């Protein structure tokens, strides 16, 4: 009996130890909830257990230390994160938090990921975040922060930072350029840089070209001017480029067709999950590998011909070229984009016919060339049988059944032009009139000769 009792007691103590969280962390979390639960600070039923590791939004490691925290509520600046020494990830996204980013986060030395996106946070990114040595994932999109240059000067010191979402965070500030950043060799592990919808002014900064691991670059919905840099085409890992709705001018550089991650399957195909899931075009993803590969340059002031080199990007799934000033014909080489699902060339000055070769794009589900100056018959067959008239409207010279507009009869290769019927008819008519006139002349001439001979003979007889 004593041996059995001791064994039972050992199991009981081990179970309690395994299920009970650290008391200091337990009390800290209760304090969190009392401060952020507005207007009712009562502890919810799912936080009434002694073991905080069982609470909703709380995750612990095997040692019962809090590592992940996901809760919602009001004033975030008042929260004290310092007792959570083992905290690795915080997900307070899609809530109604207000105030500044808490400085006490910097005391969580094990912190890897922070998601505070879609809140109402204000102020600046704390300078102390530069000291988080394991920090790799930061999502602050859609808040009301300021000093984007200061933010990059801080975050560039986070050597392991791989994911940086700052979309819709800043407003009407300059793009952080080489002159702003003193440590130009930073961000060497950065894979996602999203800085869209901030109305940033300036040109595409050249320091981005040094980020060899960058896979996703979003600078859309800003006020960026100048041309698209040629060096973008030499970025070895880039497979998502979104610079939609800026003030970019010039041509689309043919070097874009050299993006290795869109050309070759040999590019990095890391299947590992990120520290926290993220939203991309309203869809949630856990890893970069699953992202749709795309180039989006729509709604700018780009001009010139579409480079045939775009056809090299055989892994591309989305290509948006809409609402620019592109001219010339649609390159046949686009038919080599065998994985393409979306192709938007609307709102340009493209001429010529739609290449029949585009029927080879068997995955194409969205296609539009509306509002150009294209002509000829719209291709039939393949995915083209699934597109509606809205894909082709605004091209008066296009024809085909989808537009309910008959095409003119096709030429037979110019054979009619080789046979001039009119001259033949004239020659035939002339010959008909010539025969009686010639015959009459001959008969008359013969009568005259006979008459003269007859008279001559009469004289002889006389």
* 335-340-341-345 Cα dihedral, nearest 10 degrees: -60
Q: Is residue 227 part of a domain?
A: yes
| pLDDT exceeds 50 at position 397 | yes
Write out pLDDT tens, residues 205-217. 999 999 999 999 9
* pLDDT band, residue 17 (cuts 50/70/90): very low
Containing structural domain, residue 132: 71-403
Please answer whether residues 244 and 224 qualify as being in contact, where contact means their C-beta atoms are separated by less than 8 angstroms. Answer: no
Q: Is residue 194 part of a domain?
A: yes
Residue bearing the bigger pLDDT, 236 or 64: 236
| pLDDT exceeds 70 at position 166 | yes
| pLDDT exceeds 60 at position 104 | yes
Q: Is residue 62 part of a domain?
A: no
Q: Is residue 34 part of a domain?
A: no
Reference 379, options 356, 405, 409, 347; nearest CA is: 356
Q: Is 50 helix (H, G, I), strand (E, B) or coil?
A: coil
Write out pLDDT tens, residues 117-162. 999 999 999 999 999 999 999 999 999 999 999 999 999 999 999 9
* pLDDT band, residue 325 (cuts 50/70/90): very high
Q: Is residue 127 part of a domain?
A: yes
Write out pLDDT tens, residues 256-307. 999 999 998 875 566 577 888 877 777 888 888 888 999 999 999 999 999 9
Please answer whether residues 228 and 204 qualify as being in contact, where contact means their C-beta atoms are separated by less than 8 angstroms. Answer: yes
| pLDDT exceeds 60 at position 42 | no
Write out pLDDT tens, residues 77-100. 778 888 888 889 898 888 888 899
Rounded Cα distance between 73 and 69, Å, is 13
Q: Is residue 236 part of a domain?
A: yes
**Number of folded domains in the chain?**
1
Q: Is residue 52 part of a domain?
A: no
Please answer whether residues 135 and 161 qualify as being in contact, where contact means their C-beta atoms are separated by less than 8 angstroms. Answer: yes
Share of the chain above pLDDT 90, in %: 58
Q: Report the CATH number that the domain containing residue 150 is assigned in CATH.
A: 3.80.10.10
CA angle 408–409–414, rounded 5-degree value = 120
Q: Is residue 58 part of a domain?
A: no
């Amino acid at each position: 009996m004593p041996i059995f009792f001791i064994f039972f007691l050992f199991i009981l103590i081990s179970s309690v130890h395994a299920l009970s969280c650290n008391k200091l962390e337990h009390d800290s979390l209760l304090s969190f909830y009392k401060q952020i639960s507005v207007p009712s600070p009562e502890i919810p039923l799912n936080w009434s257990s002694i073991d905080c590791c069982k609470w909703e939004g709380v995750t612990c490691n095997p040692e019962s230390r809090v590592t992940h925290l996901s809760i919602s509520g009001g004033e975030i600046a008042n929260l004290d994160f310092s007792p959570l020494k083992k905290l690795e990830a915080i997900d307070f996204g899609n809530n109604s938090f207000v105030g500044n980013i808490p400085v006490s986060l910097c005391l969580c030395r094990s912190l890897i990921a922070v998601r505070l996106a879609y809140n109402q946070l204000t102020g600046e990114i704390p300078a102390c975040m530069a000291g988080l040595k394991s920090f790799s994932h930061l999502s602050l999109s859609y808040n009301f922060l300021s000093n984007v240059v200061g933010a990059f000067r801080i975050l560039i010191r986070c050597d392991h930072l791989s994911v940086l979402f700052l979309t819709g965070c800043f407003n009407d500030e300059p793009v952080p350029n080489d002159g702003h950043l003193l440590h130009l060799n930073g961000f060497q592990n950065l894979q996602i840089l999203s800085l869209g919808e901030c109305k940033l002014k300036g040109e595409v900064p050249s320091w981005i070209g040094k980020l060899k691991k960058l896979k996703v670059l979003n600078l859309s919905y800003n006020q960026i001017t100048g041309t698209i840099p040629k060096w973008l085409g030499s970025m070895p890992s880039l497979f998502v480029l979104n610079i939609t709705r800026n003030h970019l001018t010039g041509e689309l550089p043919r070097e874009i067709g050299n993006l290795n991650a869109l050309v070759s399957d040999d590019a990095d195909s890391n299947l590992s999950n990120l520290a926290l899931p993220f939203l991309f075009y309203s869809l949630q993803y856990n890893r970069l590998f699953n992202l749709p590969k795309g180039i989006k340059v729509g709604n700018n002031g780009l001009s010139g011909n579409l480079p045939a080199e775009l056809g090299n990007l055989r892994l591309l799934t989305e290509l948006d070229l809409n609402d620019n000033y592109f001219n010339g014909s649609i390159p046949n080489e686009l038919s080599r984009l065998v994985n393409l699902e979306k192709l938007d060339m609307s709102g340009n000055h493209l001429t010529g016919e739609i290449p029949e070769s585009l029927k080879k794009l068997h995955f194409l589900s969205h296609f539009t060339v509306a509002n150009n100056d294209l002509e000829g018959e719209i291709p039939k067959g393949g995915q083209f049988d699934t597109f509606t008239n809205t894909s082709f409207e605004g091209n008066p010279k296009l024809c085909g059944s989808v537009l309910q507009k008959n095409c003119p009869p096709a030429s037979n290769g110019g054979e009619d032009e080789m046979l001039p019927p009119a001259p033949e008819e004239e020659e035939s008519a002339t010959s008909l009139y010539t025969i009686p006139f010639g015959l009459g002349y001959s008969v008359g001439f013969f009568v005259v000769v006979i008459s003269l001979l007859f008279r001559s003979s009469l004289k002889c007889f006389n």
